[in-house]
Structure 1
Amino acid sequence: MTYVEMTAPDQLKPAAPVPGLVLKPLHRNSPLVVDIQARIGAPYGWRSASRTSEEWLAWFAEAPDRTFWLPSFEGEPAGIISYDLHPGGEVEIETFGLLPEFVGRGLGGFALTLGIQRAWELTSSVNRVWLHTSTLDHPHALPNYHRRGFRTFRTEAGERQGARTVGTGETAP
C-alpha cells in the first residue's frame, strides 16, 4: 500500500482540462454507486467487484457520511469518486476510478483534478486530503497521484488481495 497526501490546496498541480468532463454529485442510494464500483474494480480484482448485497450494506453502514461524485464525460457516467470526512479536517478520497471503457482516453488526470478540487471544498475546515493505492490498482494510478501533487507519506509492504483496494482504497469486511 502507498499512502499519499496534500496538506494545502495550492499543492494541486491540475491536469489540462478535458472538454466534456464534469463532476456531478451522486446520491449514495443511486444504483450507480454499486454498479460503477463493481465495473471499475473487476479488472483489478477489487473487493467491490464481488461484494454480496449484505457486504454492500455493511460497507455503506460503516461510513454513513460518505459522499459520492460522478465523473461524467459527454453526459455518460465515466467513473466514481467517494469521500470520507475524518476528524481534524481530513478528507480521504476513499474511491477513485474510471470505468474500463473510459480508461486510456486521457481522462484520468483531469478527473482526478476535479476530484481533488472537490475534496478541498467539502467543508470549510479541510487541512489534508489523502488516499491510498496498491499494486492491484491501475499501473498509472500512483504516477497520476504524484503528478497532481500528492506526496507519499507512508508505504506498507505486501498487498492484500480483495481487501482495502478499490481505486484508492475501500474497506472490505
Structure 2
Amino acid sequence: MRETITYLEMTSPDDLVPARPAPVTMEPAGPSLVRDLSLRVGTPHQWPSSTWTDEQWAEHLSRPHHSWALTTTEPAGLARYAVEGDDVEITSFGLLPEWIGRGIGGHALTLTIRKAWTLTPGARRVWLHTSTLDHPHALPNYQKRGLRPYRTEAR
C-alpha cells in the first residue's frame, strides 16, 4: 500500500486554534507507560514502533524525550516530544482506540501543542508528521488546530 507522509508546522503559539474543552489532562509518563500507550495507540496505524524488539524499545526510551499521558479518568492517549535547538517535534500523538470518537481528540491536541511551546525557551516552531495510515481524522484535526503542511512525500 502506498503511504503519503504530510509534515506540518506551527511557527507561533498565537497560531493555535483551540478546540472546545474536554475532560482531558496531561500527566508525565514513565517508560513502561510510554511503551504500553505507544503500542496500543500505534499498532492499528502501523507505527514502526509496533514491531520493535525489546532492544529497540530500550534504545528508544533511553533517548531524551518528553513523554505525557493524555488522561481522562484513565490513560486515553499519548503525547511525546523531542527538542532539537529551538524546534520541538511532536514525535507521537494519538488516542487509544477506545477513546476515539468520544469528542476529546481536538482538546487533547490543543493541550499537546500548548505543552510543546513550553518545552524550550524561544521555541521557533512546533512540527510533526502524519501518514495516510494514521486515523482519517488526524490530518484534519492538525489543520484545524493551526498546523500548516510544509512538505509531503510518498512511500
TM range (shorter): over 0.9
Find the residue that maps to 1:78 and give its secondary structure. strand
Partners in 1 of 2:46 and 2:83 — Cα distance? Answer: 26
Structure 1 alignment gaps of length 5 or more: 159-173
Deviates most, 117-126 or 39-48: 39-48
Partners in 1 of 2:28 and 2:57 — Cα distance? Answer: 20
Shift of residue 41, structure 1, vs aligned partner: 1.2
Residues 130-155 of structure 1: CA deviation (Å, up to 9, x unaligned):
00011111111000000000000111
TM-score calculated relative to the size of structure 1: 0.84
Partners in 1 of 2:139 and 2:113 — Cα distance? Answer: 14
Quote the residue 1:48 is aligned against. 49
4+ residue runs of structure 1 moved beyond 6 angstroms? none
1:3 and 2:44 aligned: no
Q: Over aligned residue pairs, what C-alpha RMSD do you find?
A: 1.0
Whose helix proportion is higher, 1 or 2? 2
Quote the residue 2:67 is aligned against. 68
Residues 75-97 of structure 1: CA deviation (Å, up to 9, x unaligned):
x000100000012x100000001
User: What amino acid is the match of 1:86?
Assistant: E
Residues 103-158 of structure 1: CA deviation (Å, up to 9, x unaligned):
11111100000000000011222110000011111111000000000000111122
Partners in 1 of 2:36 and 2:61 — Cα distance? Answer: 14
1:26 and 2:24 aligned: no
Partners in 2 of 1:137 and 1:84 — Cα distance? Answer: 20
Q: Which of 12, 17, 21 is 1:17 aligned to? A: 21
Whose strand proportion is higher, 1 or 2? 2
Quote the residue 1:80 is aligned against. 78
User: What amino acid is the match of 1:94?
Assistant: T
User: What amino acid is the match of 2:126?
Assistant: V
Identical amino acids, percent of aligned pairs: 51
Structure 2 alignment gaps of length 5 or more: none
User: What amino acid is the match of 2:70?
Assistant: P
User: What amino acid is the match of 1:128?
Assistant: R
Find the residue that maps to 1:156 and give its secondary structure. strand
TM-score calculated relative to the size of structure 2: 0.93
Partners in 1 of 2:29 and 2:40 — Cα distance? Answer: 17
Partners in 2 of 1:90 and 1:80 — Cα distance? Answer: 20
Partners in 1 of 2:43 and 2:10 — Cα distance? Answer: 29
Deviates most, 122-131 or 42-51: 42-51
User: What amino acid is the match of 1:15?
Assistant: A
Partners in 2 of 1:157 and 1:48 — Cα distance? Answer: 20
